[in-house]
Amino acid sequence: MAIIGTCRVKDIVSQKPTKLWNEYSNRFGIDRKRYFEYYEGKEVAVGIFLKDKKKLTKSISLTELRKLISGFHPPQTFRYIKEPLLLRKISDK
């Protein structure tokens, strides 16, 4: 596990799964079959749109993160980072 990049949230959209697919599927990283399997039986789908995407030149390992942030446990896919030391470290990459 490692931080490989950073981004900011541009917008969050909640709609019926079909409407979200029809409006935004050209920007999704998933095919139609898997998308509708994921949202099967659901009334609402959520799209999180990103901006200021930046791939780090060197990833930051989980070991390094734990040295920077005591007790750090990574979430499944993302985390809002507010720790100044870590923000500086990422900005330097």
Per-domain residue ranges of the chain = 2-92
The confidence score (pLDDT) of residue 52 equals 93
16: three-class secondary structure by DSSP: coil
Predicted TM-score (pTM) of this structure: 0.63
Note the pLDDT tens digit of each residue in 7-53: 899 999 999 999 999 999 998 889 999 999 999 999 999 999 999 99
60: three-class secondary structure by DSSP: strand
The confidence score (pLDDT) of residue 83 equals 66
The confidence score (pLDDT) of residue 72 equals 82
Whether the CA torsion 9, 86, 3, 73 is positive or negative: it is negative
Beta strands per DSSP E along the chain: 2-15, 45-61
Whether the CA torsion 4, 91, 86, 64 is positive or negative: it is positive
C-alpha 41/C-alpha 38 separation (Å) is 9
Note the pLDDT tens digit of each residue in 53-86: 999 999 988 888 888 888 887 766 555 666 676 6
Structure tokens at 90: 């990422």
The confidence score (pLDDT) of residue 1 equals 74
